[in-house]
Amino acid sequence: MKKTLSIIALGFFMAGCAPEPIESINDPMMEEPVMETGTEATDTFGETTSTTETVTETDTFGETATVAEEAAPAAETQTPMHASVMAPPVGVYKIGNAYNVDGETYTPSENYTYSEEGTASWYGTEFEGQKTANGEIFNPNLYTAAHKTMPLPSVVRVTNLENNKSVVVRVNDRGPFTKDRLIDVSEVAAAELGFKDKGTTRVRMEVLPEESRQIKELAIASNPTANAVPTPIVPAAEPVVEPIAPAAPLVAATTIPEPTPAPVIEPEPVFEPTPTPAPAPAVMATGAFKVQAGAFNSMENATVMQNQISSLGASSIVEKDGYFKIHFGPFKTKEEASAMAAKLRENGINPGLIKDGRWASW
């Protein structure tokens, strides 16, 4: 009996002396810390490092380990494209010859890797209804643009570098010819890019090669009678390259071609700032409308052009705002002015309408 009691007492004594069990750090019931993607961690040397994504794993021995995984790259944001950019009607496909405006020579070319940064501006209702350089009708509510050297038509992405907004537009016209400008976009495109009220902004312009090839094929298919790279019938329809050779042959007045379904020449008009009303009331008394066939930076160029189109009617050269402008008229009615404009378009010239000394729409 005493021996039994001694054994029991010894058992209680050993139990009291035994150390308390230590809870395993690998207890599956414990919540294991997992670092979030992109957080900062401190290593054993006290250095703060940037982490990507950390995954906690438990091996077959119950040991916990962390494995770093590279985060997947973010998908590239695609710029939405308005349906009208690729929709017909499209004008003639053209690259064009080198031409000169205000002493600057521009050489159009086909370049599907083109990308450039510069200043963008916009143009709107003052040109609504007029033909673009490849024969389309300008609409300020469509996503279009003008560029000095890109093939017409082409498709480009324009990104406003001040707010990172971007828009896809169809290039179908020539310009802008202000020296510090890269591209003119339509009014609706300027609004979407967020600079309509400001007027100009810094942009990056990138050609979209696949879409540009598609719009090229559409333009060629839509105008089977037009040459894919048209040769101008009247070379001076675009600004004349300086200097002008005195012996350069002029197009005879009796060789005006028949109208074609689509323009096949390159009218590269220079649009000067909106003129102020003509102060002479005597001119307005004989007619309120005039048709401008072109504006040139020298009298010599304007005279060459005037001689080439002299068979279309009487015209005058007016020097104003630093340009020499060829005017037909005045005409008493808009219909008479439109008839003269039709003759000019048949010869590859994109005319402007002036009413009471100001630009007006057709």
The mean pLDDT of 179-197, rounded to a whole number, is 95
On the question of pLDDT at 9 being above 60, the answer is no
pLDDT tens column, 340-361: 999 988 888 888 999 888 888 8
CATH at residue 156: 2.40.40.10
On the question of pLDDT at 130 being above 50, the answer is yes
Domain span at residue 335 reads 272-360
295 in the same domain as 218: no
> What is the Cα gyration radius of the chain?
36
| Burial of 258 (C-beta count, 10 Å sphere; 0-12/13-18/19+) | exposed
Q: CA–CA separation, 169 vs 147, rounded Å?
A: 11
pLDDT tens column, 277-336: 444 433 333 468 999 998 887 888 888 888 889 888 899 999 887 788 999 999 999 999
Which of 161, 191, 222 is the endpoint of a domain? 222
C-alpha angle 236-217-100 in degrees, rounded to nearest 5: 20
Which of 206, 222, 238 is the endpoint of a domain? 222
On the question of pLDDT at 2 being above 80, the answer is no
Determine the pLDDT at residue 178: 83
The mean pLDDT of 230-253, rounded to a whole number, is 43
Structurally, the chain folds into a number of domains equal to 2
Does residue 112 lie in a domain region? yes
Determine the pLDDT at residue 192: 96
Q: Give the tokens for residue 75.
A: 């998908």
166 in the same domain as 279: no
Which of 204, 222, 240 is the endpoint of a domain? 222
Please give the share of the chain, as a percent, with pLDDT higher than 70: 61
Does residue 27 lie in a domain region? no
258 pLDDT band (50/70/90 cuts)? low
Q: Pick 11 or 211 by higher pLDDT.
A: 211
Does residue 2 lie in a domain region? no
Global confidence as pTM: 0.46
88 in the same domain as 184: yes
Does residue 212 lie in a domain region? yes
pLDDT tens column, 40-97: 444 433 444 444 444 444 444 444 444 444 444 444 446 778 988 998 888 899 998 8
On the question of pLDDT at 149 being above 90, the answer is yes
Q: How close are the terminal C-alpha atoms of the chain, in Å? A: 127
Determine the pLDDT at residue 64: 44
263 pLDDT band (50/70/90 cuts)? very low
331 in the same domain as 205: no
289 in the same domain as 204: no
Q: CA–CA separation, 86 vs 170, rounded Å?
A: 8
Please give the share of the chain, as a percent, with pLDDT higher than 90: 38
pLDDT tens column, 152-185: 999 999 999 999 999 999 999 999 988 789 999 9
Average model confidence (pLDDT) across the chain: 73
Kindly provide the residue ranges of all beta strands, DSSP E only, lying in 297-343, ordered along the sequence: 315-320, 323-331
CB proximity list for 293: less than 8 A, separation 6 or greater: 305, 309, 315, 326, 327, 328, 344, 349, 351
pLDDT tens column, 25-42: 444 344 444 444 443 444
Q: CA–CA separation, 166 vs 196, rounded Å?
A: 14
213 in the same domain as 118: yes
CATH at residue 296: 3.30.70.1070
